Amino acid sequence: MNNKFRCNCPITSALDILGDRWTLVIIKQMLIEGKKTFKDFSESEEAIATNILSSRLKMLEEFNIITKEKLLNNNKTNIYTLTQKGIELTPIIVELCIWGDVNMRDFQPEMIDGEYMDALKNNKEKSILELQKKYLEKTDSKKK
């Protein structure tokens, strides 16, 4: 693994990995939307280019934020799963969601709204735990 860090600052080091335009989108897609294959990601509304997607998935795997396994009955399809390190990004995803809702709605009025956003804003901690629990339940049931 190449040294991809600019300095010894923990914030800068985290942003060296997570601070590009796509990485947290991929993690959000996995955590909230249940995406798990290259095809799932490439067909999403965010429209990430396949070369960038491939690069980000590889980098996330290098840093043990995700794992890659072959689909049981299909050796061509990879399944990507968040590791514990990846799941621990849930509070950041929730905070960004709330921040975006509060501060970007004037610029993007079509942003999602409703009960989901209300739940996030009214009880962040509970929402974080529920997201993590649902993700783990989904991935654990798929492994059986």
How many whole angstroms from its chain centre is CA 86?
8
* Rounded average pLDDT per 10-residue block, the chain, 144 residues: 77 90 95 93 91 95 94 84 96 92 88 82 91 90 53
CA gap 102, 96 in Å, rounded = 10
Per-position b or e across 63-99, b if 16+ CB within 10 A of its CB: bebbeeeeeeeeeeebbbbbeeebbebbeebbeebee
| Domains of the chain, each with CATH number or no CATH | 10-143 (1.10.10.10)
Query: 101: how many CB neighbours lie within 10 A of its CB?
Result: 17
The DSSP 8-state label assigned to residue 9 in this structure reads -
What's the pLDDT score for residue 138?
87
CA gap 124, 129 in Å, rounded = 9
**How far, CA to CA in Å, does 41 sit from each of 8, 9, 76, 80, 144?**
32, 31, 16, 10, 23
Residue for token pair 């290098």: 62
Q: Are 55 and 36 in contact, with CB atoms under 8 Å apart?
A: no
What's the pLDDT score for residue 95?
93
- If phi > 0 it is left, if psi is from -120 to 50 it is alpha, else beta; for residue 94 that is alpha
What's the pLDDT score for residue 144?
44
